[in-house]
Amino acid sequence: MSGRAERSAGRWASRAVQLSFLIALLVLWYGLTTWGHVSPILLPNPLAVLHELIQVITTGEFVGDLLTTLSELAAAFTISMVLGTIIGYLISRSPYLIEVFEPLLAGIYSIPIILFLPLYSLLFGLGEPSKIALGATISFFPIVLNTIAGFGHVDRIFIISARSMGASNYQLFRRVLVPAALPIILTGLRMGFTLALLAILGSEVLASLAGLGHRIAELDEKMDRAHMFAYITFAVVIAAFLNTVVSWLEAKGKR
Amino acid sequence: MAHAPAVDDTRDLTGAAGRQGVGAFLRARPWLARLGVIVVLFAVWEIAARFFVDKMFLAPPSLVYMRLYAVFATAGVPAALRITFFELTVAFLISVAIGLSVGLAVGLSRFTHRSFMPIILLLYGTPQITILPLFVLYFGIGPASKIAFGVSHGMFPIIVTVIAGVQNIKPILLTSAKSMGASRWQIFRWVIFPHMVPSFFTGMRLAMSAVLLGVLLAELYGSSVGIGYFTTLFTQSFDPTRLLGLVSVLAAMAIALNELARRAEMRFSRWRSA
């Protein structure tokens, strides 16, 4: 009984520490910008940022940028999901092909592919196609590798017993291979989604014409800092929301 | 649709030759087939660049290789590569120092772990690329902002893996060490530390690729002296030959550094599996 009370006290203390950490940060930010003579060009006042954020949301000026980013993300992820799962499945059908292709794909995966952004800009221009292509390239690798891992390492005994009980090709695929591989594939899809989002936001910040990342970089160049902070907050919340949804879908699909 | 795990699927690969001998030869040597795939990919690139894509936008690999010397002969490129390498090294070292100290501070006590772990995971989960302009704002366009951005990417994997390594020790080991009269320092030195080493090296491997990502992102965003300046220059002057050459050199550097971290991880995690 006392152990539980102690544990709950400890949990409250942790919450208190987290809350006071957050409050201290905000107070420090407010204090520095209000009385600390910190230039608003370097660090805008949190109230000004909040004001801008409300402006951005109520006037709906974010809609165009958000739609650009989301449509790029949807296109990139669809491409990498379709290609990644199909190619991964085909490779996983033979241990030999796995041995040939898996180290190759894993090797390319270890290179920071963002390096090729200048090439993508040259080939696909500064608009949406280069973002979609880069996002699709970067997210392809975790998806294909996890699909290979998922389908390639299904326990042989399941396949043999399904076969001996007279399962057709389709039944084997639908009832044995997919259920066994799905958790690993879903993890790959989640990683791919996160990477695609990062790649698209990143390439928008680095070189682009539209999108959330582009707006942040543009406001930075205009030195409109409070507005920029508002957009950063907005983008971070959107990213956190998307990642939470995807993690939730992953957990739901694994059950 | 052949969904069955047919063992004979490999014959598709060697079907062109149609002879059992070649098939068996290749089947016994997957690395040769792997090499073949790489050669085919380069051939496709070569043909595409020579006959199908405008020379302003893509260069064939043979030309990139032949003109690699031109990349290094460009005034400032060797210095820029040195600066980028310097940024990577410093960012990695700072990441390790911060990651190890924060990881130990948070991981060694249950209270700090419960209090700060959610904050760390929250920060780790935010897309740092959105705040890249702030790093340039506060640290300038020189190496300092690249190092800082690299550290912001590199420290989190180490923090998280060090915490995991410290937390995953079997309680029985700590209890038995304590019951044999070990001091706090002895417990740390002889129980916690050896258990932390493998996950610490895993963290260092992850941090290496994260630092590469962070530093290169910051370089590409805007650079006055580093390689980012030259990638922009070669892109804007439509010089794909030198751009590809420079990117290949950087990719080779990234592969080498990642491989180094991977080898170190394998070497220092060996005691556990043995």
Instruction: Give dist(CA A137, CA A26) in Å, integer.
Output: 39
Query: Angle CA(B204)–CA(B266)–CA(B248) in degrees, nearest 5?
Result: 65
In order, the DSSP letters of A175-213 are: IIIHHHHHHHHHHHHHHHHHHHHHHHHHHHHHS-SSSHH
- The answer to whether residue B28 neighbours chain A at the CB level (below 8 Å) is no
Residue A231 pLDDT exceeds 70: yes
Instruction: Give dist(CA A195, CA A214) in Å, integer.
Output: 18
E-strand ranges in chain A read: none
**Residue indicated by tokens 């950063």:** A232
**B70-273 homologous superfamily:** MetI-like (1.10.3720.10)
Between A93, A112, A206, which is nearest B254 by CB? A112
pLDDT, greater one: A131 or B57: A131
Residues in B closer than 8 angstroms to A123, CB to CB, are 53, 57-58
Query: Angle CA(B239)–CA(B241)–CA(B242) in degrees, nearest 5?
Result: 75
Cβ B3–A177 below 8 Å, yes or no?
yes
Between B9, B130, B213, which is nearest A235 by CB? B130
Cβ A236–B127 below 8 Å, yes or no?
yes
One-letter identity of residue A98 = I
Residues in B closer than 8 angstroms to A114, CB to CB, are 213, 216-217, 220
Instruction: Give dist(CA B11, CA A96) in Å, integer.
Output: 10
User: Which range among A126-130, B72-76, B132-136, B241-245 shows the weakest confidence by mean pLDDT?
Assistant: B72-76
CATH class label, A59-254: mainly alpha
Chain B (212-241) residues lying within 8 Å, Cβ to Cβ, of chain A? 212-213, 216-217, 220-221, 231-232, 234-235, 238, 240
Give SS3 for A224. coil
- Domains of chain A, residue spans: 1-38, 59-254
Residue A81, CA atoms < 13 Å, CB-side half-sphere: 15
For residue A245, what is the DSSP state? H
Cβ A115–B251 below 8 Å, yes or no?
yes
- The answer to whether residue B130 neighbours chain A at the CB level (below 8 Å) is yes
pLDDT digits (tens, 9 = 90+) for B97-129: 999 999 999 988 888 888 888 888 888 888 888
Instruction: Give dist(CA B191, CA B264) in Å, integer.
Output: 21
Give SS3 for A154. coil
- Domains of chain B, residue spans: 1-52, 70-273
Residues in A closer than 8 angstroms to B251, CB to CB, are 111, 115
Instruction: Give dist(CA B9, CA B13) in Å, integer.
Output: 8
One-letter identity of residue B10 = T
- The answer to whether residue B131 neighbours chain A at the CB level (below 8 Å) is yes
pLDDT, greater one: A142 or B23: A142
Give the confidence band of B20 by pLDDT, cuts at 50, 70, 90.
low
Residue A112 pLDDT exceeds 50: yes
Residue A12, CA atoms < 13 Å, CB-side half-sphere: 6
Lookup: tokens for A185: 């594939």
